[in-house]
Each structure stands twice: as C-alpha cells, then as structure tokens.
Structure 1
C-alpha cells in the first residue's frame, strides 16, 4: 500500500470563475496561432509541401502532435502562458502537479471542446456561418455544463482527474535600498 501523498488545503483547490476560465481559453487560442503557424512552417519546410492542400492530413496530424506536446509539457509544469496571465493553475485531484501521462490524458479529453460539432458537420455540406454557429453553440454548452459539476470544473477535467484552480498572485518585488 502506498502512503498517501499530502494534498493541498481545500481553499487552494477553488475553481476560478467561469468567465476567467473562458477568457483564459480564448487567450490560449490566440497564443496557439503562433504554435500552429510555426508547426505548419516547419512541416512544410521538412516535407517540401508547396500547396496548402497537398499533404493536408499529414499536416493536421503533425499539428495535433505538436499541440499535444505543447500542452502536456506546460500542464505538467502547472501553467501555460495564458494560464499564468489569468492566474490559473492545473493540478490533479489532490492539488499536486500533473504527471506527463495525466497531462496527455487531459489533452486528449480536451478535444471534447471541438469533436462533437466536427463530427456533426462532417457528413453535411455546411456553410461557414452554419459551422460557426454550431461550433460556438457547442463551446457555450460545454462551458455551461461545468455549472452542473460539484466543484465547478469542466467535465473533461473531471474525467482526466485534473482541476483548474486559482493560482496565487505573487506580491510585487520590492527593490532593496542600497547601503550607504
């Protein structure tokens, strides 16, 4: 039997407000533009792809892997840049840092933000406006479903055994006075 690991005090496991988590989510999407751009550039340079639709599935798979590495690495450290900005941290159920495997599990489960509308729209020839409404509608529904979870967490976090929690703000640094 393994000894129980110390857990964080219950107050440290408070979920940030939904609006803060969604603001962080939007900011994360903005930052992901740079990750996707660099991954796409690297892929096209390595494969000598000259046309946007040439080798499209390979590019999608490559970006999926790069994004997985990005998120798993940062989440195992506790925060992405967007999470630092919004003072949010990801931890396991006990408030401890995530091991790599749990961060990867969270990454795979976080695709629930996108997969249901993508699967619904795949067999239909939907216009851009219809796709946008479907995607935005699902994101709103998925975010609001966290209100039905006991600790206010997103359901993919519950299933992954992770939690988004408030990260304490650091006090401002005080400059030391020179001795004189």
Structure 2
C-alpha cells in the first residue's frame, strides 16, 4: 500500500480551531481605523450643530435625535468599513496580521447581502457581551452566530512558504 492510499483506520480530522482569540485580536486591531472614521463623523456633526446656531461649547443633548443619528452614522461607517474590506479581499486591516479571511460557505467570495447579515448579527453578538463569538467553542463546526446567519466562514490562511 502506498503512502497516498487512505485507509479506513485513519482517524477523523480534528475539529477546526474556533479562532475566537484571533477574531478578538482582529477586532481590537480594527477598532483603531474605525475610531478615526468615527472621530471625523463626530467632528462633522459637531460643526453642523454649531453652525445651526448652538454655542461652541454646547454639547449635543443626550438622547436627542441628533445623537441617535450620530450613533447610526457611526454604526454604518463601521459596517461600510467591514463589508467593503470583506468584499474587496476577504480581510479587514485587523485580519491581515492574523491571516484571517472571510469566505462564503461554498468557498467563493461572499455576496453583499451575506456580508450585511454578517455585520448586523456580529453587532448583536458583540452587544450580547460577545456571546455569539464565544459560541464558536460549543458549535459543532466552530462557527459563530454571524457565520451561521450569513452563510460565511472565517478561516486562518496558512503562512506562505519562504
């Protein structure tokens, strides 16, 4: 029997890693460019608020429509950053050092709709104290809530040979 033959006695392949730690490292990394974009949006809102007749030192009132609009814009900015990055190469800036990539369940490039679902469910997952991320430790396929909901997968790309 040659070494290329597969016998029935070979053990089943191990479960893939849950990648929870790598995902959290990537999220931390991505927090910084997204924060810079949020600061720009906040500056635009603050300038518009000041130009609309409010004092320079007057804050945007808490729980006002303007503040909710700013939160929505910041959420959309982060979503745009993530979905554009995933669509443009499967990786955000934070995913590159950890060699993580988002792919469709079939291995192809994910569709826009799947990426939007991934971002929305990922937001809920984070809001639930990361429960959707930690779920990967218990899932039979090591998938998070947003992986399951969107039909996408995150994989760790092997190092390139030198």
Q: Is TM more than 0.5 here?
A: yes
Distance 2:158 2:44 in 1: 37
Query: What does 1:15-164 align with in structure 2 at a 5 Å threshold?
Result: 17-46=19-48, 48=50, 50=56, 51-54=58-61, 55-77=66-88, 78-116=90-128, 138-139=129-130, 141-164=131-154
2:5 aligned residue:
none
CA contact (8 A) 1:91 1:98 kept: yes
CA contact (8 A) 1:15 1:153 kept: no
| TM-score, structure 1 normalization | 0.66
Shift of 1:46: 4.6
C-alpha change, 1:159 and 1:52, in structure 2 (3 Å) is same
Partner SS state of residue 94, structure 2: helix
Aligned-residue CA RMSD (Å): 2.4
Any stretches of 5+ residues in structure 1 without a counterpart?
Answer: 1-10, 117-137, 173-180
Find the structure with the greater CA-based Rg. 2
CA contact (8 A) 1:16 1:88 kept: no
Distance 2:134 2:77 in 1: 29
Distance 2:159 2:47 in 1: 41
Distance 2:42 2:161 in 1: 39
CA contact (8 A) 2:118 2:146 kept: yes
Partner SS state of residue 43, structure 1: helix
Aligned length: 138
C-alpha change, 1:17 and 1:109, in structure 2 (3 Å) is closer
Greater share of residues in helix = 1
C-alpha change, 1:16 and 1:170, in structure 2 (3 Å) is farther
| TM-score, structure 2 normalization | 0.72
